[in-house]
Structure 1
Amino acid sequence: MASYLSSELLKRVTFLHLKVWVLIAFFIGLFIVVILLVLPFCLSRKKPKRNGKTLPTSPPIPPLSKEIRVVNCSANNNYYNDPFQDAYRDKDSDKLLGHTEKIQSGDNDNVGLISYSSLSDSPPKLSQLGWGHWFTLRDLQIATDNFSKENVIGEGGYGIVYRGQLVNGNPVAIKKLLLNNLGEAEREFRVEVEAIGHVRHKNLVRLLGYCIEGTQRLLVYEYVNNGNLEQWLHGAMRHHGYLTWEARMNVILGTAKALAYLHEAIEPKVVHRDIKSSNILIDDKFNAKISDFGLAKMLGAGKNYITTRVMGTFGYVAPEYANSGILNEKSDVYSFGVVLLEAITGRDPVDYRRPADEVNLVNWLKMMVGSKRSEKVVDPTMEMRPSTSSLKRALLTALRCVDPNDQNRPAMSQVVRMLESQQYPVPREGRKGQKTQAGSVRAE
């Protein structure tokens, strides 16, 4: 039998001239190859469905966050729909220093402060950035003609502000942080993005985006083209005319509304810490826009105040903050009160060119009101003087804001109501049974 099978297998097929065993081996191999090719397809077709649904796949995670995307400026970029306008901004060099920074109260679950690492080549983490758009450095070089001196509109201790124009024609203000103080530049960058990157209010300068490339840190803002309150009050914009009483109060009211929003409408609340006339920009309709959040602090839930090193501008800093480093939103209220007095009188908060009893604006104002000479404090450059009731309302509001006891100062939402009130005197909400503190003065 075996010899018979061997002889049969060794026979040649006439039309292929191949032995039978070769053909059998060929077809067996071909069958195996076909099985191997078809089997995966069959298995994939027969996979059981789970509950009739397929699980969604996660999108790839971008390097920074979903909200942060590179915006290459082009003529068909429709994101910037408004003709933005901006910023004669500058930082004063007279900053007050002292005190170490720490959390004063509350637990560690919702800390209202930010810790800052040294400047590095890697982009900040998502937790350290707000919302906005990530511009490329090339975009901003083109917008500012490679950061030419002709486009400089402001300089400060930590950065230079340039006027720029995107390829789509929209004007912007670009703050390029200086790298001669790496820690402070990095701190200011992250503070501004955290503080206003996600907020929206018509009286706050809008942060449009930022650039992070290597060690470069840049912030891109809307462009506000009508100077700032300091320039209108003290000279640089006076060739355009003088601010009327109505224009001044409109700027002041807008500033109050923006601060009320920062203090009471968002969480964590934001304490600006450097409210002054030069940080209040003015648009072409004489609306206020608060700028420069480089010194801002955030107070999370359960944080009534923090103790931090004292920074701000001399003449605007609240006394309790200057003396102890204790900071809360009432520090901004005091600074706002000084700005309001500045708008009423046209005087600088501190002016050593004046007689000794007039150097400090707040003290001089209290003296004038206490001696019933409030009519003589109005800025003499105003052609149309305010009505007596309007002046007294503004003075009373300002004097309450600069009360030496921070507990007696009103909240900014109350300040808004006081400024909008048509009655005089303005009711002192929540102050029943409290004695007038030393240094507070009633407007007569």
Structure 2
Amino acid sequence: MRSIEKEWLKEGEAIGEEQKKLKKDATKKKDVYGGSKDSTKAFSKNKANISLRADIQDPDGKLSSWNEDDASPCDWVGVKCNPRSNRVSDLVLDGFGLSGKLGKGLLKLQLLRKLSLAKNNLTGSISIAFAQLSNLRVLDLSENSLSGSISNDFFRQCGSLRSVSLANNKFSGHIPESLGMCSTLASLNFSGNQFSGSLPSGLWSLHGLRMLDLSYNLLEGEIPNGIEGLNNLRGISLRKNRLTGEVPEGIGDCFLLRSIDLSENSFSGGLPNTMQQLTLCNDLVFGKNGFTGEVPEWIGKMRSLETLDLSENNLTGQVPDSLGKLLSLKFLNVSKNSLTGILPESMKNCVNLLTLDISHNYLTGELPSWPFKLGLQQLLFSDNRLSGNVDNALASSLESSCHKLVVLDISKNQLSGEIPGSTGDFSSLHFLNMSKNSFVGSIPASIGQLKILDTLDLSDNQLIGSIPLEIGGATSLKELRLEKNSFKGNIPTSIGNCSSLMSLYLAHNEITGPVPASLAKLTYLETVDLSFNKLMGTLPKQLANLGRLQLFNISHNQLQGELPAGGFFNTIAPSSVSGNPSLCGASVNRSCPTVLPKPIVLNPNSSDADTGIIPQSFGHEKKILSISALIAIGAAVAIVIGIIAITVLNLRVQASTSRSAAALTFYGGDDSHSPTSDGSSGKLVMFSGDSDFSTGAHALLNKDCELGHGGFGPVYRTKLRDGRSVAIKKLTVSSLVKSQEDFEREVQKLGKVHHGNLVTLEGYYWTPSLQLLIYEFVSGGNLYKHLHEESVGNYLSWNERFNIILGAAKGLTHLHQMNLIHYNIKSSNILIDNSGEPKLADYSLARLLPMLDRYILSSKIQSALGYMAPEFACKTVKITEKCDVYGFGVLVLEVVTGKRPVEYMEDDVVVLCDTVRGSWEEGRVEECIDSRLQGKFPVEEGIPMIKLGLICTSQVPSNRPNMAEVVSILELIRCPSGGQVESG
């Protein structure tokens, strides 16, 4: 840790010295203005600008015009002066890329009326001294990284303050009660912080307040009855807090309200009746709360409503008929409630409606036609109880302005009949979901006319026929889902025209024919599921060039031949290729038959030799073969003899394995934990000494019980007699495993390794031809799936990722303290238990090999490509625990970025370490963090974490820290906030 701590300290000291020098230089500068005393006096009153520049950094050089040699700062960029006093009145530096902290130099600008430093990278806290700027009217520090709490007395002398915005920073603590003293305040925006506690009581005495935004904080408690005192309020947003209770009746007295957003809280009760008085209100957003009762009939009196969002509450009853009176309504969302009945016909009067979302309710009746006639852009009717066919609704829409429809979702209903051919006339559609209904017939060819459609989901219906060739006309498709139907015929080759396609789901149909080679043209493909069909033939070799593939499931078909070599297919999961008896390759654990080329005998004296054609004049006098031909024939004979020998050996090994498996079944009684030296029966040892198998070896090695396949062999799940599950690893390196004595000695050592972040080895089984390792069963899956496979569930949060990295580091540290090297660090070897704790698996299995030969190691752990330290390629460098540190560093970068260690692109191979290191050197490292975490992680943890990963992956082993130092550094990086960013 010493070397790394020094590196961080050096950087901090360098920055500190630079700031001191700037301040020192600023104070040493003499007045060079000369001339009248008035000019000197004027500048001295404005010299706060120079002090400001000393306190902050200007990496983009936006303040280059700030030259203290000037007679006045009034011409400087961002500075505005009062023409009478020639004193600075406005300082506006929005989006200048400034960093550093707010200094006290600003306090000398006593006549400052507007201070705006929004959209910069300022850090630190905000001093109470800013309240001394008695003439300040506008204070905007939004979109920075300011933090800390705000003093309760901060606003005690707020004087003439009109507008305050501290939005999108990292402020915490309570909102100051002194805010109530800002009697002239018209606009207050504290959104996007971590303010907690209840709403300050002084807030309701601000009678001049027009805009109030406290959204996206951690505020608690109820809205007090005093809200009616804000009778000048035009807009209020308390979105995404933790507020509870009912909405007070007094809100109806705020007659000037145009916008109310109370969404994403825990409000309860019904909507207060007084709200019908808010006839000027345009936006009413109450979604994601716990409101109960019916949608009130009086809602129709709020005639100015343009947005009405009551989604995700507990509302019941029918949609009121009075909604038809809202002639200005553009957006209506009542989804995810418990509404019943049918949509009122009166709503056809809502001629300005653009979005209608009634999904996830219990609405009945047929699909209404009036929404289609209004020229809406988004119609979401999914997950209701609508029935009947859709012909009438869609046909009537084509008589009006149907071409505006962008999103149509009628999935999860009870709709039936055929999909109308007129569907192809909705030329503006981007999203079409008709899944999980009872549609019959075939896909209309007109679907190909939807040129800008990017999602088509017709899955889980009763559709028949073949997938139309015209589907290739929908060239913008990104996701195509046709699974769980009864499609037959071939996959159309025209699908290769959908060049943007990322996801293709055709599983559970009756599709025949080959997998078309045109799929290899779809360079954006990430997910392909063709399982449970009747596909035949071999897989096109070109599929190996698809560099973005994350899933390619062809299980349970009739495919044959060898899997494509390279790229994703080198590590494809066995479950994705199972159920194809004629497929061969490592992933299906079945060797492919070797086809030997016939040796070509050439006449070296022939002028046609270079063409590879035997000349017709080749006769009896030319029977003498060349030396190269003799060598080729000899090699061919040797290969044939080798194949025969290997086949015989394999048959013997299989017979021996069967005998060993039978022996394991035989010793399934109460004494199965006792060692036995009977070579014909095998030796089973359980370290606990009190458990045995409830099933025999036939269950242990059953394909249906297989969990996965690693470099050292497949893993199966079974149960002990006490009901506890265990994982069984069958070693497939029999020819390389040490003698029984050496094997048992090494396994006994591994059996003594116990740590909360290591998978426990519970026992082993030995015969000369079959070796099993018995581990504890970890049920949460491996880290690779959580990071890279969306089907696993929600993505990992920052806190979860940090805890996984820290736990893995602790487990690896324990291994190294026991003088053990893991040798095989990678995300698929980190298992996650039910509590989210990581456990390292497959550690130190290389010790079971007769020697730590680099070739053997690299061949056994080749799936760890990208994690392997560079010394594996250098025979003169010793393999030490620093190899594990390198792999751990790659793992850190993988977890933080969400990207694989190696990505195979169309024309390139992208190595994660190199990419991140390049971004670090260019100052763009924050862009590397997983896009799913943007805005949901503390930068002060994320950036140091990436730096740690880069140091661990140093090309020179001695420059890498040891794992004990890594754990210490991780504990230093962990912020006291504990990742509150995510809950905010």
TM-score tier after normalising by the smaller chain length: 0.5 to 0.7
2:869 to 312, 318, 321: 318
C-alpha deviation, 1:227, in angstroms: 0.7
SS at 2:714 equivalent: strand
The separation in 2 between residues aligned to 1:191 and 1:318, in whole angstroms, is 28
**Residue in 2 aligned with 1:251?**
804
Tell me the residue number matched to 2:771. Answer: 217
CA contact (8 A) 1:134 1:211 kept: no
Counterpart Cα distance in 1 of 2:946 and 2:954: 12
Alpha carbons 1:189, 1:218 under 8 Å: kept? no
Matched, 1:242 2:795: yes
Partner in structure 1 of residue 345 of structure 2: none
Amino acid at match of 1:163: R
Q: CA deviation at 1:406?
A: 0.8
Aligned partners of 1:135 and 1:211 also within 8 Å: no
Counterpart of 2:831?
Answer: 281
Partner of 1:203: 757
Could you tell me which residue of structure 2 aligns to residue 44 of structure 1? none
Match of 1:166 in 2: 720
Give the partner amino acid of 1:353. M
Deviation at 1:260, TM superposition (A): 0.9
Per the normalisation by structure 2, the TM-score is 0.28
Q: Could you say which residue in structure 1 is the equivalent of 2:964? A: 413
Q: Residues 249, 422 of structure 1: CA spacing in aligned structure 2 closer, same or farther, 3 A cutoff?
A: closer
Aligned residues of 2:700 and 2:728 also touching (Cα < 8 A):
no
1:330-373 deviation line (CA, Å, top 9, x unaligned): 010000000000001111111112774x7010000000011110
The alpha-carbon deviation at position 220 of structure 1 amounts to 1.0
- CA offsets per residue over residues 391-443 of structure 1, 9 Å max, x none? 1220121111011111110010000011110489xxxxxxxxxxxxxxxxxxx
TM (norm. structure 1) is: 0.58
2:687 is aligned to 132
Q: 1:382 to 1:392 in 2, by over 3 A?
A: closer
Alignment partner of 1:351 out of 895, 903, 912 = 903
Separation in 1 of the partners of 2:744 and 2:970? 34
User: Which structure: greater strand fraction?
Assistant: 2
Q: In structure 1, how many angstroms separate the alpha carbons of the residues matched to 2:701 and 2:957?
A: 44
CA distance in 2, matches of 1:346, 1:147: 34
AA in 1 matched with 2:726: V
Are 2:883 and 1:331 equivalent residues in the alignment? yes
Aligned pairs (5 A) from 1:257-268? 257-264=810-817, 266=818
When residues 218 and 367 of structure 1 are mapped into structure 2, their CA distance, relative to the original with a 3 A threshold, is same
- What one-letter code is carried by the residue in structure 2 that aligns with 1:197? G
CA shift digits 1:192-231 (9 cap, x unpaired): 6155211110100001111235643211111100111111
How many angstroms apart in 1 are the aligned matches of 2:941 and 2:906? 27
CA pair 307-216 structure 1, distance change in 2 beyond 3 A: closer
* CA–CA separation in structure 2 for the residues paired with 1:373 and 1:130: 54
Q: How does 1:105-124 map to 2 (within 5 A)?
A: none
Deviation at 1:169, TM superposition (A): 1.0
**% of aligned pairs identical?**
35
Cα separation, partners in 2 of 1:339 and 1:294, compared to 1, 3 Å: same
Instruction: Give the direction of change, closer, same or farther, for the CA distance of 1:215–1:316 in structure 2 (3 Å limit).
Output: same
Distance 1:222 1:388 in 2: 37
Alpha-carbon distance in 1 for matches of 2:932, 2:950: 22
**Contact 1:342 1:348 (8 Å CA) reproduced:** yes
Answer yes or no: is 1:155 the counterpart of 2:705: no
CA deviations 1:228-248 (Å, max 9, x no partner) are 11111110x644211011101
* In 2: Cα distance, 1:203 partner to 1:379 partner: 25
Structure 1: 5+ residue stretches without partners? 1-88, 95-117, 299-305, 425-444
Q: Residue 165 of structure 1 contacts residue 171 of structure 1 at CA under 8 Å; is this kept in 2?
A: yes
Count residues with an aligned counterpart: 295
Distance across 2 between alignment mates of 1:347 and 1:191: 39
Native 8 Å contact 2:693 2:719 kept in 1: no
- Aligned ranges for residues 173-212 of structure 1 at < 5 Å? 173-178=727-732, 181-184=734-737, 193-212=747-766
Mapped to 1, the partners of 2:766 and 2:923 lie a distance apart of 56
Question: What amino acid maps onto 1:377 in structure 2?
Answer: C
Contact between 1:158 and 1:185, CA under 8 Å: does it hold in 2? no
Query: Max radius of gyration: which structure?
Result: 2
Residue 321 of structure 1 deviates from its aligned partner by: 2.5
Q: Which amino acid aligns with 1:259?
A: L
Deviations 1:14-68 (A, max 9, x none): xxxxxxxxxxxxxxxxxxxxxxxxxxxxxxxxxxxxxxxxxxxxxxxxxxxxxxx
* CA pair 422-153 structure 1, distance change in 2 beyond 3 A: closer
Equivalent in the alignment of 2:892 = 340
Structure 2 unmatched ranges of 5 or more: 1-572, 575-585, 588-652, 661-675, 679-683, 976-984
Higher relative contact order (CA 8 A, sep 6+): 1
In the other structure, the counterpart of 2:950 is 399
Across the aligned residues of Structure 1 and Structure 2, the Cα RMSD in angstroms comes to 3.7
